[in-house]
A and B are shown apart, each in its own frame.
Chain A
Amino acid sequence: MGKLTKITDYLWEIPQTGQMLVPGRIYASEKLMSQIQKDESLKQVANVAHLPGIINYSLAMPDIHWGYGFPIGGVAATDAGSGVISPGGVGYDINCGVRLLRTNLSADFIRPKIKDLITTLFNAVPSGVGSHGAIRKLSRQDVRNILLKGAGWAIENGYGYADTLKFIEDNGCLKNADPDVISERAYQRGMPQLGTLGSGNHFVEISKISDIYDESFSGRLGLIKGNVVVFIHTGSRGLGYQICDDFIKVTLQATRKYGINVPDRQLACAPLDSQEGKDYLGAMRGAANFAFANRQVISALIETTMMNTLNMSPNDLEMSLIWDIAHNIAKIENHIVDGKQRQVCVHRKGATRAFGPGHRDLPEEYREIGQPVLIPGDMGTESYLCVGTDKAMLETFGSSCHGAGRVLSRTQARKRSQGRNLYAEMANAGIVVMAEGKSTMAEEMPDAYKNVTGVVNTMHNAGITRKVARFTPMGVIKG
């Protein structure tokens, strides 16, 4: 890999060397870059630059860290005609994403009740390994309908309200999903899991709106300082993992068949205009729709549980969706490249779409301010809502960061947690946590993550996203 050079205070470049088709570009402050250089993520940025049809740069956001294939925080746009699609550029948890719900409740009202609320939510939203049973067991036909309809299926079946859909990326449904290319194994894994959180870094969090940076924007988003919001972070569960696994095998064959050279088997890919590429895109869209439906069902479970626990009506609670984003996804989008409109396939692996103001895919309510970008931090610190900018459209194919990004491996985190009572530490900080997995607390401890504020400020200062509000956690459910 060539020598890393600094372009601006917040942007770095890996030169195009060897078989790389474009240079790499990483958004990071000096401080973040010194952390980033400690693992193998920059090499992964260079590896992604080998994908046929990649346009402009292999990009990475400041929460970049060493993943498999793509770095986490990686963005790559390939030409929709002559380029490839890589399941490794989406990941196993297809359409892992975040949604943010506002409520009418004040943090002061909730604080004395937070322990009860987290306990009831922990019971209502199944979490942990193989979590299931949130709703009735689905039939194969139900799953097929979900793959085609996404969050709309959940609404049709009584989980939420129709006016919610416009506040979900792509209205909660990617068109042209193909349920016929999805394996029986994936169907079987999806049937018991709708409405479940899963494990790892997935969570439900009750937070307080602690800072507003832009009053004119926060008003449009219905954010009131001191009020309570709910974050949900989960994806397509076992159905998505199975589809990714199935299609890496398909694309490994395709990589050879079409004579494609990539430096990592996890970057296996297929031309977008090949049958293998089209099949993966159709299957991936189905999994993305399952994830949109999953977060929609979980929202409805949370609303019902909060109303019951707090003895409130829907009008008292006034829970409504601010936005729902996908951060593991590949999308066919139109972008301006070298002054011309071009159809591209944007892979976002641990990166969030961040469309700027005026984009026609945004609902009317947000068209003037830009797309909300949800950036949760670790469970002990804070999270942010930002909005996309015109500069994001020019530089990053309308993309930004997705979280704090890990800095410690899970092994290092477990070592650092030894002899510490993390639950007590969180309680001392005023945060109630319940976790299902026995290693989850240690592996997901706040020390394991970068400082989310540094990540968010990098994208703010680089002009890619603009800060609107900051949230601090009050109660967290981890899988």
Chain B
Amino acid sequence: MKKSYRQFNQTSDLGIEVIGSNLESLFRNAAMCLSDLITDFTLLKKIQNRIVSVQAEDWELLLREFLAELLYLFHTDNFLAKDITIIKVNSNELEVELSGEQITIGTHPIYREIKSVTYHQLYIKQTKSGFKARFILDI
């Protein structure tokens, strides 16, 4: 996976910056980033599909809700996404189809436990080349 995210220094947890050429790719890259932070992304396969739908008041909260939902799928079902297809998106609503797999802990390496996606310093900004999002993951 070509890295479309980087980690910035945040003392207690994990600070993440994701980029995307447009908002759809920003959301896609953020989802891939989450899988990549949890396991070896190259080992993930597209075996199952899941539909995820979230609502929020603005783009930033929508991104947080989406990532929190992906984390919930992992915590309760061991499911991690390898790819996503956006079905519907606007500033209040996102519906996506995830392709990925229910990983076997042990077969797939687990790098760390991400407890949650926080609201601290959460933002999405337009840049010259597209969009940038910043968020902090609680470890």
Contacts and interface: CB of A to CB of B under 8 A. Distances in A.
Interface of A: 39, 41, 65-69, 72, 88, 91-93, 128-130, 185, 188-189, 198-200, 238, 241-242, 244-245, 248, 252, 264-266, 268, 406-412, 436-440, 443, 479
B125 to A, nearest CB: 16
A200 B112 contact: yes
A242 B72 CA distance: 9
A68 B138 contact: yes
A409 B113 contact: no
Interface in B1-49: 7-15, 38
B53 interface: no
Nearest to A448: B11
Contacts of A200: 112-113, 115, 139
A264 B120 contact: yes
28 contacts: A65-B11, A67-B13, A68-B12, A69-B118, A72-B11, A88-B119, A91-B138, A128-B105, A130-B75, A130-B113, A189-B75, A199-B112, A200-B139, A241-B115, A264-B121, A265-B122, A266-B118, A266-B119, A406-B12, A409-B11, A410-B7, A410-B14, A412-B9, A437-B113, A438-B110, A439-B111, A443-B112, A443-B139
B136 A68 contact: yes
Nearest to A199: B113
B78 interface: yes
Taking chain B's interface residues, is the majority helix, strand, or loop, or is none over half, making it mixed? loop
B113 A438 contact: no
B76 interface: yes
A198 B113 contact: yes
B109 interface: yes
B25 to A, nearest CB: 24
A268 B119 CA distance: 10
Interface in B80-139: 105, 109-113, 115-116, 118-122, 136, 138-139
B115 A66 contact: no
A411 B9 contact: yes
Nearest to A264: B120
A41 B122 CA distance: 17
A124 B67 CA distance: 32
Given A200-B112, A439-B111, A68 B118 contact: yes
A372 to B, nearest CB: 25
A448 B119 CA distance: 24
Contacts of A91: 138
Contact of B110 (A68, A128, A409): A128
What interface size band does chain B fall in? Answer: 20 to 34
Contacts of A409: 7-11, 15
B115 A438 contact: no
A327 to B, nearest CB: 13
B65 to A, nearest CB: 9
A58 to B, nearest CB: 16
B68 interface: yes
Given A130-B75, A265-B119, 15 more contacts: A39-B10, A66-B12, A92-B115, A185-B72, A189-B75, A189-B76, A245-B68, A248-B119, A265-B120, A266-B119, A268-B119, A406-B12, A409-B10, A410-B13, A438-B112
A47 to B, nearest CB: 10
B3 to A, nearest CB: 13
Given A68-B118, A68-B120, A129-B105, A406 B113 contact: no
Given A200-B139, A410-B14, A93 B115 contact: yes
A438 B109 contact: yes
Contacts of A128: 105, 110, 113
Nearest to B6: A411
Contacts of B119: 68-69, 88, 248, 252, 264-266, 268
Interface centre among B8, B11, B74 (most CB of A within 10 A): B11
Contact of A188 (B76, B116, B139): B76
Nearest to B72: A185
A439 B122 contact: no
Contacts of B118: 68-69, 92, 266
A72 B118 CA distance: 14
Nearest to A410: B14
B112 A69 contact: no
B139 A410 contact: yes
A181 to B, nearest CB: 19
B6 to A, nearest CB: 9
A129 B38 CA distance: 9
B11 A66 contact: yes
Interface centre among A130, A443, A479 (most CB of B within 10 A): A130
B120 A266 contact: yes
Contacts of A92: 115-116, 118, 138
A129 B12 contact: no
Contact of B12 (A72, A244, A268, A436): A72
